[in-house]
Amino acid sequence: MNLEEKILQVMGGMHVGAVATIAGNKPAVRFMALRGYDDMSLVAGTMKSTRKVGELKAHPDAAISIWSGVEFSDPYVGISATAEVHEDRETKERYWNPVFEEYFGSIDNPDFILLVFVAKTIEYYTPPVMEPEIWNR
């Protein structure tokens, strides 16, 4: 299995990940529901009124961690990404997920937006080996 395939086993599909942004001059971390795609991007729905959106508009760099399992020996990834804030209907339709209905009502909710995290670097870890394999865009 090549590195991209191993990474996608961890980050592909729906996951909860820890997403770090810059708030002023300090890091801010929160868990987010993310969907990973084969192009090494992650997409999350959110409300444009949230603090994280303002933080990402001011500083689009983000760090994301996703762990794939239950055991400490299960692989995980650390992702350095650039965030894009999308409010356009076309992007919302492309990435709409029925799970979003519970949180945002509908695609027409004026506060609903998408965050697309485009990975620049992904570190793939398989504990107990702490030296990652590194993927770069």
The rounded mean pLDDT for the chain is: 96
Q: Which fold would CATH assign to domain 3-136?
A: Pnp Oxidase; Chain A (2.30.110)
Concatenating the DSSP letter of every residue in 73-98 gives TS-EEEEEEEEEEE--HHHHHHH--T
Q: How far is CA 79 from each of CA 7, 12, 66, rounded to the nearest angstrom?
A: 10, 13, 8
For 99-111, what is the mean pLDDT? 95
Q: pTM (2 decimals)? A: 0.95
Distance of CA 58 to the CA centre of its chain: 18
pLDDT in tens, 82-99: 999 999 999 999 999 998
User: Would you state the pLDDT for residue 57?
Assistant: 97
Give the pLDDT mean for 44-56: 97
Per residue in 24-45, pLDDT tens?
999 999 999 999 999 999 999 9
Residue 71 has pLDDT above 90, yes or no: no
